[in-house]
Structure 1
Amino acid sequence: MMINKMVVLSLGDWKNIQRDPLLIFTMIGTLLLAALVRFGLPQLTVLLQTHTTFNLEEHYRLIVSLVLLMTPLMIGMLYGFMILDERDEEVLLYYSVTPLTKTGYLFCRLLVPMVLTFTLSFVVVFIQGVVEWNFLSFIPIALLLAIQAPLITMMMASLASNKVEGLALTKVINLCVLAPLIDYAVSHPIAKVVAIFPVYWPALAFQSGEDTNWSGMVLVGLVVALLWFVLLNKMFQRKIG
């Protein structure tokens, strides 16, 4: 019964998304980026090799990992805006007295972004076409990516009081994508401080390919994400309580 109500809520969300071109772009943005990587990156590589000695191909895994991170970031922010908008309109109060209940509403708002991110991550990695990947090995990475989405949603709902503040917060959240890039570009040990950010670990695990430490990276990433989830959930519950 609860699942049916969550499906109805999700269908209503999709109707709202269809009415807003910006929200539609948010849903397909990472797919466009993946297509750009597939068709544009090889051309850029040839161009650079023709005029410089820089070999962009050595950095393909980093680039694709950053594109993969955009999926949970965009979807997490999309559902964060939904919660902020519905909180402004006091929709939470409405759901608290319906059979769905506030708990069911919040569960849906966090579960759906995870499912969407998990699914779209496979679509993105399939489209990109410049980096080899293994389906079975990618499943834990896709799961790790999926967990990032509700963390972003809770961060927006916890730290922003309205959609205007939420828009400003997205600029800060987008900087999280730099975490794996900083570690990749800076050899100094202090760069490892970015490991405290959950988004660092799925990117690192994907970059490692079939490295022997691959499973350890996924495990540490799950622990880091869980710690952030506990922290953000306390803030989240206090904000919407």
Structure 2
Amino acid sequence: MNWSAIPYDYKLLKGDPMLILSLLVPFILWALMHLLFPFLEVLVMKQWNVDISPYYRQTGIFFLMLIPMMMGMVYGFILLDERDGGIITAISVTPTGKFGYLKLRMGIPLFLSFVFIILFLFLLGLTGTLNILQLIVISLLISSQSLILLLLLGAFADNKVIGMAISKGFGILLMGPLLGFALPAPYNWSGAYSPLFWASRSLLSDSQDTFWLYASITFLFHLFLVWILFRKFTARSD
């Protein structure tokens, strides 16, 4: 990965406080889970005699899904800025080419999402019974959600205003795992339209077979979406 792009990205981010705040989201989510959830646990038990501790892991996993969304939005907006500035067109005629540019732009949010997700899982005790290989696999799969949003913005957003609307609409995928957590069977399967539903099922799995089944569905789901959006983006950029 070409890390020389990081200082340039920082210069772009400095001019947009909203994007900087988006990069801080993983730390904010960690603080909410680490500090606020225990407080709410005591408060709810005291006020209503309801134990919410069984929902700690589901809440943490839901927050976890927000991380790649934020990374994808930040780098999707950087991509929009570079397209508007003619940078993508200029790079396409260099040895790096458009594909090399996209590898860089896709690689950074994928890597950042992966690092934050791994830290999130271990620091908040969300690993469950999964071994290290399973945690790496599912973290990579969830991280690839950042690529979907980045490519979605690049393929369909003409500017940041439209990009923000698309990012908000993208949040409908977050409803998938939420429906899976909140609704009783068989209605919880109504969230199966979202790849994040299958990713959350993998994280909550207690057996090897079900983990790899749900992880495989997550992989195929993401692969299909990334392939479609990648083709759409490259066709638009030609």
1:37–1:130 Cα contact (<8 Å) kept: no
Give the distance between the partners of 2:236 and 2:55, measured in 1 at CA.
41
Do residues 229 (structure 1) and 216 (structure 2) align?
Answer: no
Question: Where does residue 26 of structure 2 map in the other structure?
Answer: 30
**What number of residue pairs does the alignment pair up?**
237
The partner residue of 1:96 within 70, 92, 98 is 92
Give the distance between the partners of 1:55 and 1:236, measured in 2 at CA.
47
Give the distance between the partners of 2:131 and 2:15, measured in 1 at CA.
35
C-alpha spacing 1:101/1:31, structure 2 compared with 1 (3 Å): same
1:77–1:170 Cα contact (<8 Å) kept: yes
Greater alpha carbon shift after TM alignment, 51-60 vs 14-23: 14-23
1:31–1:123 Cα contact (<8 Å) kept: no
Structure 1 portions without partners, runs of 5+ = none
Which structure has more RCO (C-alpha within 8 Å, separation ≥ 6)? 1
1:32 CA drift (Å): 1.3
Greater alpha carbon shift after TM alignment, 177-186 vs 14-23: 14-23
Letter of the 1:73 counterpart: M
The 5 A counterparts of 1:106-121 are 106-121=102-117
Do residues 141 (structure 1) and 138 (structure 2) align?
Answer: yes
The percentage of counterpart residues that share the same residue type is: 27
SS at match of 1:98: coil
Give the distance between the partners of 1:185 and 1:37, measured in 2 at CA.
19
Question: Where does residue 54 of structure 1 map in the other structure?
Answer: 50
Letter of the 1:31 counterpart: F
SS at match of 2:118: helix
Give the distance between the partners of 2:206 and 2:6, measured in 1 at CA.
35
Give the distance between the partners of 1:132 and 1:42, measured in 2 at CA.
19
Question: Where does residue 187 of structure 1 map in the other structure?
Answer: 184
Greater alpha carbon shift after TM alignment, 211-220 vs 72-81: 211-220
1:234 CA drift (Å): 2.0
| TM-score, reference length from structure 1 | 0.89
Which deviations, in whole Å up to 9, do the C-alpha atoms of 1:90-121 show, x marking residues without a partner? 11112123332221111111111111111111
Q: Which runs of 4+ in 1 moved over 6 A?
A: none
1:54 CA drift (Å): 2.3
C-alpha spacing 1:166/1:82, structure 2 compared with 1 (3 Å): same
Give the distance between the partners of 1:83 and 1:133, measured in 2 at CA.
38
Which deviations, in whole Å up to 9, do the C-alpha atoms of 1:95-153 show, x marking residues without a partner? 12333222111111111111111111112223335775656032111111111111111
SS at match of 2:144: helix
Letter of the 1:49 counterpart: M
Which deviations, in whole Å up to 9, do the C-alpha atoms of 1:1-24 show, x marking residues without a partner? xx5xx3222331133224433222
Question: Where does residue 83 of structure 1 map in the other structure?
Answer: 79
Letter of the 2:50 counterpart: F
SS at match of 1:199: helix
| TM-score, reference length from structure 2 | 0.90
Structure 2 portions without partners, runs of 5+ = none
